[in-house]
A = this chain, B = another copy of it.
């Protein structure tokens, strides 16, 4: 099949496409209930969308008491590629136009090998998904990278953990390779968009999405839109000082949140504890694998290991302190915790909640849910698909 290249011709069409994306197949009448257009106007626009083949007929709709209506839906052959590049692994997924995941691959990887090597791997993964019959090509792709991005151009800027990526034209290069439109954003922002689209944040306009993985970042959503800041580095909370004169951090300062709690810090602390024989559980795991990661700490904690639990609680407290400050400042309607360390589960969440509810003022915390992300590792790729679909489903 030749790929779709059509785009909505006006704001009405864009609106309809998004409704079909978020609400699945719909009859013209149902669409009419949502858009405040006259029936005639609506019919014209739907017909034009059918002509472009972005939208296709989809059988009869359920009866609402009178003449039955014919459903329309987004073309089921449309395919989006969602790519979530982490520090140590990549997720690549294929979705349909309704952003349902049709196939998903995760592979270990090292961003530090540079953009060329990484994208070679990503393209191979995409090819594998194609080969398995899920897609014949892609109509758009969203890419998440673990660092700040100059959003309009789709170019990473001065990413601390990705030497070699600074200024690399990710958007242009991938658009060339894939032969489709591409949008690039920070991985944390994509996670926020994912949870907003299909996760816990569906109904909230203003929220924070804290991702604790190898590093720590925070997606900021204002009025339903991701806020990226003046230079695209908004949400970079990993280097906020959490402990005065604390641990030295790679950034040159001391006491950064990331230096005290993150996937990397947790692995280091756990290894230390194991070597000092503070925890039999961790020590035996260290011997077995040669190294420890956040997963081991989670397992040890689940087995009731006191040292592991302490590590999690301590980290949660630090994180909670920082989040408490952000809550006072930003007054969000929801805080989502996600990323690799969500495996630490309720222990972590409880520690964070305790700090936030204790330190922030009642008016800000009164009705503030603090919850774990619902989508786990798929949040990023769903967010990526959402990013490109928002772009494509907007007036040209």
Residues of chain A at the chain B interface (Cβ within 8 Å):
148, 157-158, 160, 205-206, 218, 220, 222, 227-237, 239-241, 244, 251, 253, 321-322, 324-326, 328-333, 358-364, 366-368
Known: A222-B227, A236-B331, A240-B325. 13 other contacts (CB 8 A): A158-B362, A206-B230, A218-B329, A229-B330, A230-B331, A231-B364, A233-B331, A233-B363, A233-B364, A239-B360, A241-B325, A326-B329, A329-B330
Residue on B with the closest CB to A332? B230
Among A229, A321, A325, A328, the one with the most B-chain Cβ atoms within 10 Å of its Cβ is A328
Considering the chains assembled together, what is the distance between the CA atoms of A331 and B218 in angstroms? 12
Considering the chains assembled together, what is the distance between the CA atoms of A324 and B256 in angstroms? 12
Asked if residues B326 and A236 are in contact (CB atoms below 8 Å), the reply is no
Across the interface, A234 reaches (CB within 8 A) one of B227, B236, B329, namely: B329
Asked if residues A328 and B236 are in contact (CB atoms below 8 Å), the reply is yes
Given contacts A230-B206, A230-B333, A244-B244, contact A328 B237 (CB under 8 A): yes
Considering the chains assembled together, what is the distance between the CA atoms of A251 and B359 in angstroms? 10
The 9 closest A-B pairs by CB, nearest first: A229-B331, A234-B331, A230-B333, A240-B325, A233-B363, A233-B331, A158-B363, A233-B364, A240-B328
B-side contacts of A227, CB under 8 Å: 222
B-side contacts of A234, CB under 8 Å: 329-331
Asked if residues A361 and B230 are in contact (CB atoms below 8 Å), the reply is no
Given contacts A239-B361, A328-B240, A358-B253, contact A231 B321 (CB under 8 A): no
B-side contacts of A157, CB under 8 Å: 363
Residue on B with the closest CB to A228? B331
Among A222, A230, A244, A368, the one with the most B-chain Cβ atoms within 10 Å of its Cβ is A230
Determine how close the nearest CB of chain B comes to the CB of A239; give it in whole angstroms. Answer: 6
Considering the chains assembled together, what is the distance between the CA atoms of A253 and B365 in angstroms? 15
B-side contacts of A148, CB under 8 Å: 363
Determine how close the nearest CB of chain B comes to the CB of A151; give it in whole angstroms. Answer: 12
Considering the chains assembled together, what is the distance between the CA atoms of A360 and B230 in angstroms? 14
B-side contacts of A220, CB under 8 Å: 329-330
B-side contacts of A333, CB under 8 Å: 230
